[in-house]
Amino acid sequence: MPSPPRVAPISPSDTIINVDTGYGSGYRRAVTIDIRRVHEDELPAYVETLTTSFLERPDVDKVAAEVAPLWRNDRVWAAFEEDGRVRGTFRSWATELTVPGGGRLPAAGVAGVTVMPTHRRRGILRRMVGAEHRAIREHGDAVGLLYASEFPIYGRFGYGPATRVATWTLDALVTGFAGRELVGSVDVVKPDDAAREAIKLVFEAWRLRQPGEIRRRDYRWAYDLGRESAFGERWKGFLALHRDASGAVDGYVRYRTEEKWERRQARAIAHVDELHALTHEAYVALWRFLAELDLVATVKAEGRSPAERLPWLLTNFRAASVSDVGDGLWVRLFDVPRALAARRYDHEAEIVLEVVDDEAPGGRVCVELATGLDGASCRVTERSPDLTLGVASLGAAYLGGIRLRDAVLATGADEHRPRALADADRIFRTLDEPWCSTFF
């Protein structure tokens, strides 16, 4: 296969030439763009650019006041024109990624990436990425994470789609649930402080064992349970808890309902916002609770794992259908040896990988990876590589859910010994599908 393509290095220049002054105006001028962190009094201008680029129209001043105490200004970047107007936005937040085997890595969650429509294709995004990536390394984050609004953008910056998400639709009228009697109980509760603490504990225990999941920001829980937000509509749903035989909460579901009638018959839809369970019994009980809601004919859950066990719980396997399967969390490795050593592998092997990364010294890093059933080691080496591949391809395969042999198709890879790619593909693949339920 051809070698991974090289990406032009980030220019330190702060001059952007030939920027459009308006849609279709035909008039262009040279401007100077400064990439720097944002001060609190500049947040309204930042939010104005952010929401304009995402085609939203909230109350900008209210949004800025709301996020001011929540965002860390040292992780909020903007592209400023000479007159102080914001032409691009980029920010991150500190989190933690669970990797195969239960290891955890400090990570940067990248969000709010925009460039004004009048200033695209002029290098602004590349310079914001460069500033943030340098900061990520200074913070000591081993990986960067994001959700891509548009697929073609982030591969050239070293990110690869590492998890998948899907929509599950359950026709509750044509199936029952197989298996033994339910264990424990399900209760619909008021989404108060006590309930919030209970589901936080469940999620925290769940995310520590789910490859691909991340630590959530504390303030998110208030919004998930109905806190008013200047960004959009307040959540107005229901919260149900599952308790085991001892009364301990070991699962929960947040859901909303959509009223629907056909020929005077109730055909409501229950929309699942989130469902997590620490035991198989809790998982079954919560899905069964949703399917047996009065007036509900359909249960719809977006952003779930394509590997959901739901169909196998049913007396009618076909009652649960999966759709909208696509990319979820994207991963970029900033510290390749640390990241590769942190996860577990299902095979014993040794391989030398040359990872092409234009942000690394010399444009690449060569590592020796040794994997075993009891752990792995990875170190920088001067040995000749078995396989050369791009950092974005490695990021896509890192969590074990995407085949490395597929991830390299678009960008290429070089085998320096026979079957090196097949061996690496086998090493990185995991039996359990990674999944991130936390959108940001």
- pLDDT tens for each residue of 128-149: 999 999 999 999 999 999 999 9
Q: What is the pLDDT at residue 373?
A: 84
CATH number of the domain to which 334 belongs: 3.30.1050.10
**Average pLDDT, rounded, for the chain:** 93
Q: 374 Cβ partners below 8 Å, 6+ apart?
A: none
What six digits make up the tokens of 211? 């490859």
pLDDT attached to residue 28: 58
Q: Check residue 21 and give its pLDDT.
A: 47
- Both tokens of 191, joined, read 């989404």
Structural tokens at position 391: 């950092």
Range of the domain at 337: 330-428
Are 197 and 299 contained in the same domain?
yes
Q: Does residue 285 lie in a domain region?
A: yes
Q: Are 374 and 344 within 8 A, CB to CB? A: no
Report, as residue numbers or ranges, the catalytic residues: 154, 440
Q: Could you tell me if 313 and 198 lie in one domain? A: yes
Return the SS3 of 218.
coil
Last residue of a domain, one of 301, 327, 353: 327
- The single residue listed with the structure tokens 């702060």 is 14
Instruction: Kindly give the parts of the chain with pLDDT less than 70.
Output: 1-29
**One domain, residues 172 and 220:** yes
* Domain final residue pick, 129, 162, 195: 162
Q: Does 191 lie in the same domain as 69? A: no
CATH number at residue 312: 3.40.630.30
Q: Quick one: pLDDT at residue 119?
A: 94
Contacts of residue 270, Cβ cutoff 8 Å, sequence gap at least 6: 255, 256, 257, 258, 290, 293, 296, 298, 299, 300
Answer yes or no: do 355 and 307 share one domain: no
Whether 342 and 377 map to the same domain: the answer is yes
Residue 3 lies in a domain: no
Query: Does residue 32 contact residue 82 with C-beta atoms inside 8 Å?
Result: yes
Q: And the tokens for 409?
A: 């198709």
**Domain assignment of residue 6, yes or no:** no
Where is the domain boundary, 108, 127, 162? Answer: 162
d(CA 120, CA 132): 18
CA distance 118 to 28: 10
> Do the domain assignments include residue 9?
no
